[in-house]
Amino acid sequence: MTEPILEVSGLVKHYPLTRGVVFRKQVGAVRAVDGVDFRLGRGETLGIVGESGCGKSTVAKMLVNLERPTAGSIRYKGEDITRLSGRALKAVRRNIQMVFQDPYTSLNPRMTVGDIIGEPYDIHPEVAPKGDRRRRVRELLDVVGLNPEYINRYPHQFSGGQRQRIGIARGLALRPEVIVADEPVSALDVSVQAQVINLMDRLQSEFELAYVFIAHDLSIVRHISDRVGVMYLGRIVETGTDTEIYEHPTHPYTQALLSAVPVPDPEAREHRERIILSGDVPSPTNIPSGCRFRTRCWKAQERCAREVPALAVPAWFEAAGGPAAHDSACHFAEEKHVVPAEGHRDGPRGHGDGPWGHGGGPG
Ligand SMILES: Nc1ncnc2c1ncn2[C@@H]1O[C@H](COP(=O)(O)OP(=O)(O)O)[C@@H](O)[C@H]1O
Ligand code: SF4
Ligand SMILES: [Mg+2]
């Protein structure tokens, strides 16, 4: 990896769970984020993927300082930004910007596009002197593929994809080095999703941006991510390069998520195996002991309830090397090809013969 621009270590966010109106008593905690570690290189994209409620947005909010971590550190160029305040914090915040999930609700309907995109300059006037702002906003509109003449229009005059372009232009206004994009295309039509992802791809090389790109679906992040982290119940359970995760997943949860990814090729679709997980995701107020995935894992054994699996390269893969040798928090990690390799048409080659759930044909 290139020199890290962000290093997240032991990141935790617990929300207290209280009871009583007058005498508020803490009766537990929502463990929204429960020990997350990752590094982000300059100009790199880290995809973070996981089902709804696993803590992705909470991680995003901590990265841009909208939430304070309960524990852990976020180092930006070596400095822990969770300990900064005042001017030093403001300077760092300028460099880490967020693009929000829902372009329909995240833009103030009563502000013009020009005011929305230029608003960050009110907080950071040092970036753009007052007289120069409209010129810059027009340039930003052009950069994201919108007509600069639209500067006086209101959000409702734009489509969903155009609104997300406006959100991206606003994210770029302060020339950040890192953009945290929280499900930036989830609210958009499939046909528009690709356009917005392509735009983000282009902007990345143009402005040397590093992205934390969050999604609930593995198929969306593949083409934009250099590395991917798979989250489950507040933790990253597997992380690796895109090839390692998509073609050589070793954690059962990743394998299950991959088995639900749409496969366009009908022949490959016919051969692939759907892994249907039993049960629901446990509540983050009551996380299972040992491996947090064990209540839904078809491979779970007694050890899984006792011992928390560390996110590390499993010893048996480390010795052999190759693409299976990447971080996986599973005591019994084994490779399973779920999605046919790109450009190949062979079906899944599963190892082991665990009690796999089979979905009825292509989904
Ligand atoms: N302010 C809050 N107070 C209490 N619980 C919260 C709060 N914000 C999020 N949560 C809970 O934390 C968990 C993770 O939420 P979130 O980070 O939004 O997940 P995701 O973005 O992956 O869907 C969920 O169970 C959610 O209900
Ligand atoms: S540690 Fe056990 S329960 Fe957890 S994913 Fe691995 S096999 Fe399943
Ligand atoms: Mg979210």
Q: How far is the CA of 250 from the centre of ligand 2 (A)?
A: 11
Say yes or no to pLDDT of 356 above 60.
no
* Interval 333-351: pLDDT, tens: 999 988 766 544 333 333 3
Residue 27's pLDDT band, with cuts at 50, 70 and 90, is: confident
Q: How far is CA 179 from the centre of its chain?
A: 11
Lowest mean pLDDT among 29-38, 161-170, 333-342, 353-362: 353-362
Average pLDDT over residues 239-263: 93
Instruction: Sketch the domain layout of the chain as residue ranges.
Output: 4-225, 231-328
pLDDT at 119 over 60: yes
Q: Is the pLDDT assigned to residue 352 strictly greater than 70?
A: no
- Between 145 and 355, the more confident residue is 145
Ligand 2 neighbourhood includes 120 CB (under 6 angstroms): no
Say whether pLDDT at 3 is over 80. no
The strand pair at 235-241 and 327-328 is best described as antiparallel
Q: Cβ(249) to ligand 2 under 6 A? A: no
Q: Which atom of ligand 2 is nearest to the CA of 303?
A: 2
Which residue is closest in CA terms to ligand 1's atom 27?
53
CATH superfamily label, 4-225: P-loop containing nucleotide triphosphate hydrolases (3.40.50.300)
pLDDT at 358 over 90: no
Ligand 1 pocket residue status of 56, Cβ below 6 Å: yes
Q: Measured in angstroms, how far is the CA atom of residue 196 from the centroid of ligand 2?
A: 36
Summarised one tens digit per residue, pLDDT across range 193-234 is: 999 999 999 999 999 999 999 998 898 898 899 999 999 999
Q: Please compute the mean of the pLDDT values over residues 143-162 and round it to a whole number.
A: 95
What Å distances lie between residue 199 and 158, 188, 211, 221, CA to CA?
A: 17, 14, 13, 14
Q: Is 252 in the pocket of ligand 2 (CB under 6 A)?
A: yes
Is the Cβ–Cβ distance between 24 and 18 less than 8 Å? Answer: yes
**pLDDT tens for residues 86-109?**
999 999 999 999 999 887 788 999
d(C-alpha 112, C-alpha 130), whole Å:
17
Atom of ligand 2 nearest to the CA of 294: 3
Token pair belonging to 243: 């090839």
257 has pLDDT over 80: yes
pLDDT score of 147 more than 90 = yes
Quote the ligand 3 centre to 182 CA distance (angstroms): 7
Residue closest to 49 by CA, chosen among 222, 204, 173: 222
